[in-house]
Amino acid sequence: MEVRRIVTGQSPDGSIVASDAWVPPITVGLMPGAEFHALWGSDTPASLPVDGRVPENKTWFPPAGGFRCGFVTLGPDSESLPEDFDLASAIAEVSQKLPGMVEVLEPDRPGMHTTDTVDFVAIMSGEVYLELDNGEQTLVRSGDVVVQNGTRHAWRNKSDRPCVMAVALFGATRPA
């Protein structure tokens, strides 16, 4: 999927379009058919004014007080890994391209993960099942929004076409 990011900012003369660019997807061999578009975010709370320069983010999931905005496209679960798949190389690729992702994924339950974030997930096209840790699965379709409050979950695309999700992630804290 092609995604265009238009960013506004402030200059001494007023509001400006600071950048207008296509954002390439991040793809990884461990997740066939998946695309991740990291569009905007910060590791700290937002403050204004800004000049519109894209902030650097260290991880896919934000720390407490940080935020992320992007798109995630999930291919059908039926897409499989090649026979000569190298798991060690695939994990290294995910660590490099989507820092922090490997640390939250459960190796014994593919796709299941828990993050210290509050996520707003809007299904833009397709459908996907939200699976919770009790095994319950809820079908989520285009136009639906999930508010994910740091719970253990997975996304299961049982259809034969991609599911595109707009995501806004906000870093949160858990009691010790």
Amino acid at 102: V
pLDDT digits (tens, 9 = 90+) for 150-161: 999 999 999 999
* 82 and 92 Cβ atoms separated by less than 8 Å: no
Q: Is residue 32 part of a domain?
A: yes
22 vs 97: CA distance, rounded Å: 18
Q: Is residue 6 part of a domain?
A: no
Angle, vertex CA 36, rays to CA 34 and CA 38, nearest 5: 180
Q: Return the beta strands (E) in 24-176 as ranges.
A: 35-42, 67-74, 117-125, 127-132, 137-141, 145-149, 153-156, 163-171
Q: Is residue 82 part of a domain?
A: yes
Q: Is residue 16 part of a domain?
A: no
Tell me how many domains the chain contains: 1
Whose tokens are 């934000």? That residue is 62
Global model pTM greater than 0.85? yes
Q: Is residue 68 part of a domain?
A: yes
Which residues, given as ranges, of the chain have pLDDT below 50? Answer: none
pLDDT for residue 99: 96
Angle, vertex CA 162, rays to CA 138 and CA 135, nearest 5: 25
CATH number of the CATH domain containing 97: 2.60.120.10
Q: Is residue 131 part of a domain?
A: yes
Amino acid at 132: L
Domain extent, residue 63, equals 25-47+58-171
pLDDT for residue 133: 92
For the chain, the average pLDDT equals 94
